[in-house]
Chain A
Amino acid sequence: MKESVKRNLTAWLFLAPYLVFFIAFLAFPIFRGFGLSFFRVSLGRPGTFVGFDNYVRVLTDTQFWLSLSNTLLFVVVSTPLITAVGFTMAMFVNSKLKGTAIIRSVYFAPYVLSMAVVTGLWIFIFQPYLGLLSVLTGVEMFWLSTRWLAWIAIIITTTWWTVGFNMILCLAGLQDIPEEVYEAARIDGASRTQLLFQITLPMMRPVLTMVFMLQAIQSFKLFGQTWLMTGGGPGNHTRTIVQYIYQIGFIERNMGVSSTMSFLFFLVVLLFTFGQSKLLSFTRN
C-alpha cells in the first residue's frame, strides 16, 4: 500500500471513534437545531414548515429579551468579579507565607461539590424564617424572592462554588513568573503596588484573559443555580435564557421556537467570544 495512503487511513482510523461522536452529538445537532428553527414542531406532533415565523415570534417576545438580558447581566457582573476574586486569592496563596497550602485547599474545596449540594446549602442559608441568615441576624430578608437580592444570592453562591478553579489557573500563571524579575525590581526600589501593576499584571495578561473568557462562557450557561434556587423568580427576573429555552421547548412543547432561541443564543455567545478576544488583542496594541 502506498505510504501516503496508509498514513491517511491510519490517521482517520485514529480519529474515527472521536469523530463519530463529534459528528453525531455536536456537529449534527447544530445543523438539525438550525433546521428545526424554521418549523413548528413538538414532540409527538408532526412538524410544519413556517419559514421565518419563529424568528419573528422570538425577536418580538419580551420574555425572550428579558431572559437574555438576565443572562447577560449575570455574565457582565460575575465574570470580572469571579476573575478578580480568583486572582486575588491566587496572589495571596502564591505568597511565601506559612499555611497558604491549607488556605488554597479551602478556597478550592467547594469546586468539587456538585451543584445540587451547593444550591441546597445556600438555599438553607438564604431562605426566610428558618434559614441560617434569617436566624443569625434576626432580620427577615427575602433573598430569594426579591429581585436584586436574588441576583446577589446567586452570585455569592456561584462565586463560592467556582472561584477556586479560577484561582488555580491564576496561580499557575503567577508561578510562571520568574522570581528574578521581582528581585530585580525590588532592588531597584519598587514598591509593592508598582510590582503589581508593572510586573504581575502585564505578565499575567494571557492567563487572565483566558480565565476571563472561560468564566464568561461558563456564566452564559447559567441554568442550575437559578432553576434550583429561585426557579427563575421572582417573576421572571432571574430566569436565564437557558431556562427559557427549556420552558418553551419542554414545558410548552414548542420545540421549533425553542430551537430558534437556542440558535440565537449560540450566535450571541459566538459574537461575545469574538468581540471579547478582538477587544483584548486590540488593547494589547
Chain B
Amino acid sequence: MKKIISVVLVMILVVSLAACAGQDSAPGAPAPGAPGDSGAAGAPAESGERVHLTFWNMFSGGDGDIMTEMVNRYNAGDNQAYIEMTIFPSEEYYVRLITAMATRTAPDVAVSHITSLTEFVTDDFLSPLDDLAAAAGLSWNEFSANLVEGVYFDGSHFAIPIDTHVLLMHFNVQILDDLGMLDANGRPAFAENGDDFIRFFREVQAGLDGDMMPISGTSQGELPLYLWYSLFTQQGGQMISADGRTATLDTPENHNALSFMHQLINEDLWPRAQASGAQIFVAQQAAATFNGNWGIPMFTAAEGLDFISLPFPQIFGQQQSVFGDSHTLILPRQSDEDPAKQAAAMDFMNWMADNTILWAQAGHVPSKTAIVDSAEFNALPHRSAYAHSAAYATFYPKTTVITGMKASFVRIFASMINGEYDVAQAQELMQSELQRLLDDAH
C-alpha cells in the first residue's frame, strides 16, 4: 500500500512540476540578443503599473542588438507598457507567428514584413489600427507614401511601418583604389547598365589575387531572391497577373534577370557556395558585395574596412527599381481583446515609429519622412548616399502566397547557383511553383 502511495505521490509531483513549468514565468532571462529569448533587461521598479506586453520579432545579429537596445530604452522610460521580447530565427519566424495568430495565442505586438500583411489581413489575423492610432495622435501622412499604401487594405491601416530596407551594393574602397578603378568622386567607375557592370568587374577580377573575389554574396537564403527581384523589376517585370491568379514568370524579363545572375556566377564574378558574403567582405576578400542596408553596422564595426554603400545599380533601364521591404508592427487579434493592452501596444508602436533614428543605426531607412530628411539621419555615414533608393524600392506584390513563394524560390535559386539547374529550368520551376501556390490559394 505504501508503495502505491509513494508511486502516485511521485507522479503527482512530477506532473504538477510540469504544469507549473508550463506557465510562462516573468521575464528575467539572460543577455540581450540571445536566440529566441526575452531581451528585456531587468524589471523596472514599478512594472506592476504598466501593462505587460509580449513582442515577437526575427531580428538577429546587428538588427537584434539594436532592437534590444530600443526595447530596453522604451522599458526604462516613462511609458505605458512593459515589453517582453522574444526573437526567433528568421526561417521559423513566420511559421510560428502564423500558428500563434491562427490559434489566437499570438503575442500582443509582433513584427511583420509589409509584404506578408496581405496574407494576414485576408485571414483576419490582425486588428485594424485606425481608431487606436487616432487616439494616440499618430498621423499616417507622416510616413513615406509607399509604406502607407503597403499597410492599407479595404479602408483600414493594419500595421505601423518602422523602416524601409533595400538591397544595396557595398564596395571596398581600398581594393578598388589600388586597382585604380575609382572615379574622381571615389566611386566605382562603371555606368549603370548591365554591360558596363560586367566589364567593370571583369577588370577587377583580372587585377585581384587568387583567393579574392570580385563580388561576394551569400549563395543561399534570401539574398539571391533580393538580387533577382531587383533585376526583374528594373525591367518592369510583374510576378503575378492583375487579377492575382496567374503567375507571370514565363516572360523575357525573368529570363533576362536569371541569365544575368547566371552570367555573374559562371564567370566567377560572384562565386558560388558562399555561406556568408558579409563575412568575406569583412575579411576584405572581396572588392564588392551584394548586401542590404542591414549589413552596414557589421561593415562599420569591421576594423580596417574602408567601404562605401551605394544604391543597387540599375542593370536594366526600363524602370528605376530595387528590391525593398519594410518591417512593420502589427497587432494580432486575441481571443479576448483587452482595450487597455491595445492602447498600451499602440503607445509602444507609436514610440517605435518616432524613435526610428535609433533603428537607423542598423542601416534601415526610417519610415517617417521627417526623420529621413533630418540632419541627424543624414549625418550617419553612408545614409545620404542610398536613402533615396527607398522611395523607388519595389515590394513584392500584394498576394497571400508570399510565405510559400519565398520558401520555394529560395530553394530554386540555391539550385541554380550551385549549377543544379540552368536558367531555363529555374525559370520553368519558378513559374510552375508560383502557379501551384496561387492555385492552392483560390
Interface centre among B414, B418, B440 (most CB of A within 10 A): B440
A57 to B442, CA, bound (A): 13
CB-based nearest A residue for B120: A44
A232 to B273, CA, bound (A): 16
Is B412 positioned at the interface, with any CB of A under 8 Å from its CB? yes
A251 to B402, CA, bound (A): 10
Is B264 positioned at the interface, with any CB of A under 8 Å from its CB? no
Is B95 positioned at the interface, with any CB of A under 8 Å from its CB? yes
A129 to B99, CA, bound (A): 37
Q: Decide yes or no: A236 and B103 within 8 Å by CB, A145-B418, A251-B403 being known contacts.
A: no
Stretch at the interface among A166-174, A192-200, A252-260: A252-260
Is A67 positioned at the interface, with any CB of B under 8 Å from its CB? no
A235 to B429, CA, bound (A): 10
Contact between B414 and A252, CB atoms less than 8 A apart: no
A146 to B404, CA, bound (A): 24
User: How many positions in chain A have a CB within 8 Å of any CB in the partner chain?
Assistant: 27
Is A233 positioned at the interface, with any CB of B under 8 Å from its CB? yes
Contact between B404 and A235, CB atoms less than 8 A apart: no
| Secondary structure dominating the interface of A | loop
| Secondary structure dominating the interface of B | helix
Contacts of A146 in B (CB 8 A): 418
Is B407 positioned at the interface, with any CB of A under 8 Å from its CB? yes
The smallest beta-carbon distance between A209 and chain B, in angstroms, is 38
Query: CB < 8 Å: which of B94, B101, B123, B411 contacts A233?
Result: B411
Contact between B437 and A250, CB atoms less than 8 A apart: no
Contact between B414 and A44, CB atoms less than 8 A apart: no
A234 to B437, CA, bound (A): 21
Is A147 positioned at the interface, with any CB of B under 8 Å from its CB? yes
Contact between A43 and B103, CB atoms less than 8 A apart: yes
Within 8 A of B (CB), among A231-285: 231-237, 247, 250-254, 257
Is B420 positioned at the interface, with any CB of A under 8 Å from its CB? yes
Is B421 positioned at the interface, with any CB of A under 8 Å from its CB? yes
Contacts of B440 in A (CB 8 A): 57, 252, 254, 257
Interface centre among A42, A247, A252 (most CB of B within 10 A): A252
CB-based nearest A residue for B400: A253
CB-based nearest B residue for A130: B275
Query: CB < 8 Å: which of A142, A145, A237, A252 contacts B437?
Result: A252
Q: Decide yes or no: A251 and B407 within 8 Å by CB, A44-B101, A235-B415 being known contacts.
A: yes
Known: A128-B275, A129-B275. 13 other contacts (CB 8 A): A43-B98, A43-B99, A43-B102, A44-B102, A45-B102, A142-B418, A145-B414, A231-B411, A235-B420, A236-B415, A252-B437, A254-B440, A257-B440
Residue contacts A-B, CB under 8 angstroms, 18 given:
A43-B99, A44-B101, A44-B103, A145-B273, A145-B414, A145-B418, A146-B418, A233-B220, A234-B414, A234-B415, A234-B418, A235-B421, A251-B94, A251-B404, A252-B440, A253-B98, A253-B403, A257-B440
